[in-house]
Amino acid sequence: MIGTRPASIDPTPWLDLAQHADRALVRQALAADAPGEREMAILLSPAASAELEAMARRAQALTRRHFGRTIAMFAPLYLSDYCSSSCTYCGFSITRNIPRNKLTVEQMETEFAALKKMGIEEILLLTGDRHSAAGFEVIRNAVERAARLFHSVNVEVFSMTGDEYRGLAEAGCTGMTMFQETYDPAVYAGLHLKGPKSNYDWRVHAPGRALAAGIRTAGLGALLGLTEPRGEMISLYRHAVELQRTYWRGGVSICFPRIRPQTGGFAPTFEVDERMLAQIVFAFRICLPDTPLALSTRESPHFRDGIAGIGISKMSVASKTTVGGYSPATEHSAAQFEVNDDRGVDEFCAMLRSKGLEPVFKNWDGVYREPLAAHAG
Partner 1 sequence: MSDALQLGDRTFSSRLLLGTGKFSGREAMIAAIRASGAELVTVALRRFNHDHDDDICAPLASLAGITLVPNTSGARDAKEAIKAAELGRELTGSPFVKLEIHPNPHHLLPDPIETYEAAQVLVKEGFFVLPYMPADPVLAKRLEEIGCAAVMPLGAAIGTGQGLTTAAMLRLIIRDARVPVIVDAGLRSPSEAAATMEMGGDAVLVNSAIAVAENPALMAEAFAMAVKAGRLACKAGLMPQSETAVATSPLTAFLTEVA
Q: Is 57 in the site for partner 1 (CB under 8 A)?
A: no
**225 vs 292, beta carbon nearer partner 1:** 292
**119 vs 196, beta carbon nearer partner 1:** 119
Q: Is 358 in the site for partner 1 (CB under 8 A)?
A: yes
Q: Is 148 in the site for partner 1 (CB under 8 A)?
A: no
Pairing status of strand 70-78 against strand 122-126: parallel
What DSSP letter does each residue of 128-159 carry, written as one string?
A: -SSBTTB-HHHHHHHHHHHHHH-SEEEEE---
- In angstroms, the first-to-last Cα distance of the chain is 29
| Nearest approach, Cβ of residue 177 and partner 1 (Å) | 15
**3 vs 207, beta carbon nearer partner 1:** 207
Query: What is the C-alpha to C-alpha distance for residues 318 and 183, in angstroms, rounded to an integer?
Result: 30
Q: Which of residues 80-139 bind partner 1 (CB under 8 A)?
A: 119, 121
Helix/strand/coil for 181: strand
| Nearest approach, Cβ of residue 169 and partner 1 (Å) | 13
Query: What is the C-alpha to C-alpha distance for residues 54 and 30, in angstroms, rounded to an integer?
Result: 8
**122 vs 184, beta carbon nearer partner 1:** 122
Q: Which of residues 176-235 bind partner 1 (CB under 8 A)?
A: 216-217
Query: What is the C-alpha to C-alpha distance for residues 374 and 162, in angstroms, rounded to an integer?
Result: 10
Q: Is 294 in the site for partner 1 (CB under 8 A)?
A: no
What DSSP letter does each residue of 160-179 carry, written as one string?
A: --HHHHHHHHHHT--EEEEE
**70 vs 327, beta carbon nearer partner 1:** 70
By the 8 A CB rule, do 245 and 236 touch? no
**23 vs 65, beta carbon nearer partner 1:** 65
Q: Is 344 in the site for partner 1 (CB under 8 A)?
A: no
Of the candidates 20, 65, 275, 302, which one interacts with partner 1 according to CB under 8 A?
65
Q: Is 64 in the site for partner 1 (CB under 8 A)?
A: yes
| Among the residue ranges 63-71, 84-92, 256-264, 314-322, the one whose residues contact partner 1 (CB under 8 A) | 63-71
Query: What is the C-alpha to C-alpha distance for residues 65 and 290, in angstroms, rounded to an integer?
Result: 9
Of the candidates 19, 49, 70, 199, which one interacts with partner 1 according to CB under 8 A?
70
**237 vs 364, beta carbon nearer partner 1:** 364
Of the candidates 248, 331, 332, 342, which one interacts with partner 1 according to CB under 8 A?
248
Closest CA to 333 of 59, 189, 127, 26: 127
Which spans in the chain are helix H? 12-20, 23-30, 37-43, 52-67, 105-117, 136-149, 162-171, 185-191, 200-204, 206-212, 229-246, 274-287, 301-307, 345-354
| Among the residue ranges 21-29, 127-135, 162-170, 362-370, the one whose residues contact partner 1 (CB under 8 A) | 362-370
b/e per residue 187-214 (b: at least 16 CB within 10 A): bbeebbeebebbebebbbebbbbbbbbb
Of the candidates 251, 257, 311, 324, which one interacts with partner 1 according to CB under 8 A?
251
Of the candidates 137, 290, 331, 347, which one interacts with partner 1 according to CB under 8 A?
290
Query: What is the C-alpha to C-alpha distance for residues 217 and 17, in angstroms, rounded to an integer?
Result: 31
Closest CA to 187 of 240, 219, 225: 225
Of the candidates 27, 38, 66, 194, which one interacts with partner 1 according to CB under 8 A?
66
Q: Which of residues 228-247 bind partner 1 (CB under 8 A)?
A: 244
Helix/strand/coil for 363: coil
* Binding interface with partner 1 (CB under 8 A): 64-70, 119, 121, 151, 216-217, 244, 248-252, 290-291, 349, 353, 356-365, 367-368, 370, 372
